[in-house]
Every structure is written in C-alpha cells, then in structure tokens.
Chain A
C-alpha cells in the first residue's frame, strides 16, 4: 500500500492584528491508499483548517506535507491549483455549486480546467453523475433539487477527475439524518471501489463508517481510533 498523504508537525497560525491564533499546533499522520479516515473534534479544534491545507487550498505555517510523495509546501500558487485540479476532490458542507450552471456543467468544471476535450469530458461527467445516482438531474440547476441531491452532484464533481484523495468537510452538516446516511453510504461505496477518503464529521455514528477516526482538540491530535 502506498502512502497518499503524509503530514509532519503541521502548524497553522493566523494573525488577527496583534493576536495570534494557533489553529494547528503540530499535526502528524499518514493516510494510505484506499483508506477511509474520519476526523472528529469540537468546534474550533482546527478540522477545517487541516482539511484546507490537505486540500492544497492553503499553506501551512510550519511543518511538512507530502501528497503522493510530492512536497506540497514547495509549490507555488499555480502548481497548487494544478494539484487541486488533478489530485484532490473536495466536498463542502455548503455544497458550493454554481447556481447559474446546470448540474452537468458544475461537475464538468474540473475537467474544463484540466483542458480535457469536449467528448471525453462529457463521457466522464455523465459517468461521475451515474456513480452517485444523480444522472437524471444532469440538466437541472442546483436550486431545482434537494439538499441531498445537491451533495450528490458535489460528490460527483469531487470524483470526476479521478483524484488521489476525496476530502469532505462535514458533508452531511446541512442535511437531515436520513439523507446524511444516504450520503455516507455513497462515500462507503466509493471507498469500497478503491477511493481514498478523509471525512470531517461531528456525528459519531457517521464517523464509524470509516476505518479510522482521528480526534482533534485545540489544534493537535488528541487520540486515534482504529475501527476495522
């Protein structure tokens, strides 16, 4: 098994005027290919901050981060964008779909930035929509479908470019528990097909879909729990 993610002594400090906020205070862990990892922790413990750094959306203040053996901390803005495009699939709590584009167009966006030709793009987009069972809503707009369906579209968008890892930051946070469970089933299913997943959640029963739970508190790893 190859290692997809390796972080060492990751720190993130925010400067608010004269006040320093230490969101992450030295985080080290690894994620292997095909793993399903949950991250739990109280509000403000640094979960989102960690996900943003792993998702190449932000730089750490200190520490090392290797994504598929590439040193991410050495990348510039453009290379970071390319990494986000090719290696990362991000699922947000607020769905973050473009309201004016159809679901199909939303899912297509990463492939457009990857420069994929039209036909191949169309095929891959439809396949991703199919994989999460939302292809019948391809030509609707996001505001015409339910929250659970929106999150499916968002997941389709996250996996459309066959990323090395799927990151989900409280993907069920805006959904009722029944729909939340359905979304978790999708992640479980994707994991069984071989996708590597890191998922942030507040709800313990959802966290147990993963093979491992990392507990954060005050910007450090409090405890790790191996389940299966």
Chain B
C-alpha cells in the first residue's frame, strides 16, 4: 500500500509539474534559508572567535578599577598605586597556573620625525609582550630584556605608525623624537610590527612600544603601572589562573569585595561573543522557519485545489473499492512527496547559498548538520501537518456525490 500510494502520488505530481514545482518553492526557500542562515552564522562565528583568539594566547588582563574615573579620584589613584612591579612579580610567583605576568604602562605623546609629527599611544612593556599577544615583528627586533634593564631609548613602531612617520623609507636605525609632557626624548627605531588591525582597545597598528623601564623611570617617574598582562600556561588552565589571580588580588589588596581591580580574560570575551551570536543565529533561524511555515500553507492550498479538482477521481476510486484510508494515504503521500522533494531541493539551495556567502564573506564554509536535520524534518512535519486536512477532506467524500461532481 505504501509503494502503491507513493507511485500514485508521484504520478499525479509529475502530471502537474509546474504547479508542483511552484507549491514546493516555499519549502525550498524555507529549508534553504534555515540552512544558509545557521551555517553562515556558524562560519562567521568561527571567524570572529578565531580573531579574538588571535588577539593573544590565554591572555588575562588585570586593571585597577575606575582608572580614569572622575568620581572618587582619590580612591582610584590609591588602588592604581598598588599596581607595582612587585605586584607583578608576586602574581607570577604565587599563581601556579600563570606562566608569566608583564606590566604595561601607557603614555600619550607626540612622535616627531623630520617634518612629520603624530600623536600616538606609547606602550611601555617588556620582551614577552609579543608572545602573549600573538603579535609578530615585521622588520628588525622587538624590545629585549637588556633594553629594559639598561633603560635604552629604543622604540618599536606599529605598522601604520611606521609608514606615517617614514613613508616608504626604511625606519630601522632612524631617530624619532617624543614630545611628552613638554620634554623631548630621543628614540632609535629598532623594529616595526606586522599589521594587526583594530581591536577593542583601538588600532594596534598606530601604537609604539618602548621598554617599560623607560616609561616608568625616564618619562613619568611613577612607581605604578596601568595594567598587568598575565598569561596562563594553557587555555585549559585559563579559568584556574583567573581564580588564582582573583584570590591573590583580594588578599594582597585587602579587597574582599573586589572593588579595586578588574579582570578580563579571553574566555570571558569569547563567551560573551558566542552567546550574542548564538542568540542572533537562533533568531534568524526562527525567522527562516516562519518562511517554512508559509511554504506549508502553500502546500495546503495546492492540496485543497488538487482534492477539489480530483473529486471525480476520488469517487471513481471509491466506487472501485478504495477505503477511506487508501484515499487519505494517497493524498498524504502527495503532500509528503511535495515537502520532502522541496526539502531536498532546499538543502541543495542552502548549500550553494552558504558556499557563495562564505566565499564572499571570507569565512570558513561550514554546513551546520543540525540545521540540515532540523530543517528537513520540519519540512516533512509540515508536509504531513498541512497535508492532513486536505487528505481527510478527500477521504471523507461521499462516493455518489463525488462521482456526480463535474
């Protein structure tokens, strides 16, 4: 009975090719849209998370709270003053999951070379900075330990900054002057960073890097830093590292309420991003699912027309011994064939759309298997659900009335 029903259904769909195709279209587009949207969402999320991961390896940043706060300035200064080099060393020592900690201290000044001068952020840091940030040098070398110990006035330029200051000239070995706080300092360019692009902290390519000791002792003469950059041994240990740091900071600063410091980790940022993108994906997928529903209504419409049009056929079949369930099955098979054929075509359509969008958006081409399964089963469900009413209508027909129908 199943095979026979399927055969009759396919024959009648084939007899009305154009109409079958049009009524399938809603399902095709619906299934395709669900797959494409969810897949594109997955692909682009991967791209975003890869970018965040690219910002550094298992990086944890510790800031004093309200660093630039206008209210309660006194207290914020006092908490900032606790961010010393000793704190940095203690963290490294007492937190077993932490591989290393480097302090950062930023000043804003004017960099001058020949006739160009540019306002820029100058980061005082140490040799390990590049490792923690996954940041690579393009030309020359980065600051090393000796530069820091001996307070050498050397500078490494961000990609953009280098080309702004020196055009096409090779900057290595050139001198740049820094106007900071009304005083002039001279630096020798020892390196240029690779292009990295924007981040949440602004465009990294427009910054410059100098030894931390130079910023602390020569430029500012302050005993505290802006923030501490810690690196966990591995991503598995990142969470534990965060807890250790928190615990240590609470004890060290005698700050049980954690009012004086703030910790951000990459994991935390990733979690936020993926929860946002997941919500987006669900929402868009839901909207696409509504188009599937509309496609289902299209199928019901066509099936109702088909049932009315074939009233006489139903009468003939009943006169020849078809039971209600035979007729019901025949029409249900028809709507199910429509929706499953539409579903298959929709998978193909979603596949192609995802491929081209991935090419265009430059993210990995990933087909979300779960979206294929869900969209296709939903299409089948819709075929049955919206086919049931017309099929029942057909099955319940009175044979004499159906035969008399013109």
Partner-B contacts on A (CB < 8 A): 52, 55, 57-58, 77-78, 81-82, 84-86, 90, 92, 96-98, 100-101, 109-110, 112-115, 157, 161
Contacts and interface: CB of A to CB of B under 8 A. Distances in A.
B258 interface: no
Q: Binding site of B, secondary structure by majority: helix, strand, loop or mixed?
A: helix
Interface in B369-388: none
A96 B323 contact: no
A112 B400 contact: no
B319 interface: yes
Interface string B379-406: 0000000000000000000111001000
6 contacts: A58-B398, A77-B323, A81-B323, A84-B320, A90-B320, A96-B319
B357 interface: no
Interface size of B as a range: 20 to 34
A204 to B, nearest CB: 27
B4 A57 contact: no
A200 B210 CA distance: 111
A138 B4 CA distance: 20
Contacts of B312: 96
Interface in B302-358: 312-313, 315-326
A57 B319 contact: yes
A72 to B, nearest CB: 14
A21 to B, nearest CB: 14
B321 A113 contact: yes
A86 B321 CA distance: 8
B17 to A, nearest CB: 13
B12 interface: yes
B320 A113 contact: yes
A113 B4 CA distance: 10
Contacts of B4: 112
B174 to A, nearest CB: 87
A84 B322 CA distance: 9
Contacts of A92: 403
A55 B326 CA distance: 19
Interface in B7-47: 11-12, 15
Given A58-B400, A100-B11, A100-B12, A84 B324 contact: no
